[in-house]
Structure 1
Amino acid sequence: MEWLWSALAIVCILEGLGPLLIPNRWRLYMLQISQQPSNQLRQVGGVLVIIGFISLFYLNY
């Protein structure tokens, strides 16, 4: 369970780098993403989840 907290901490660090280092570009990027169709966002999210599960599988075995 300790690895989960470490993983969440790393996600927080990575997610915070954009707004910290390049806030104006990050804001424009978020604006562009918010204008994408919901189906496209679902597809991107699904692909990222699958990549994450596959990565975890290979890192643990």
Structure 2
Amino acid sequence: MSVFLVALGLVLVIEGLVFAAFPAASRRAAMVILETPEPTLRTVGVIGAALGVGLIWLLRLLS
């Protein structure tokens, strides 16, 4: 559980840094997301989740 909380904290730090460093680009990206069809967002989400699981699996395998 502690690894999960560390990972969640890291996601929040990275996301916060992106919004702080590039607020205009973040706003444009949000607008693009709003205009993107749901099936495309769903596909990108599933691919991202699968890549994340694969990366975690690989890192756990190598350590």
**If the length of structure 1 is used for normalisation, what is the TM-score?**
0.93
Shift in Å at residue 49 of structure 1? 0.4
Q: Which runs of 5+ in 2 are unaligned?
A: none
Q: Which residue of 1 aligns with 2:23?
A: 23
CA RMSD of aligned residues (A): 0.8
Please give the secondary structure, in 1, of the residue aligned with 2:31: helix
Output one character per residue of 1:16-45: Cα deviation in whole Å (capped at 9) or x when no partner: 122111111110111011100000000000
Number of matched pairs: 61
Moved over 2 A (4+): none
Equivalent positions of 1:32-43 (< 5 A) are 32-43=32-43
Q: Which residue of 2 aligns with 1:59?
A: 59
Indicate the percent of aligned positions where both proteins have the same amino acid. 28
Shift in Å at residue 2 of structure 1? 1.1
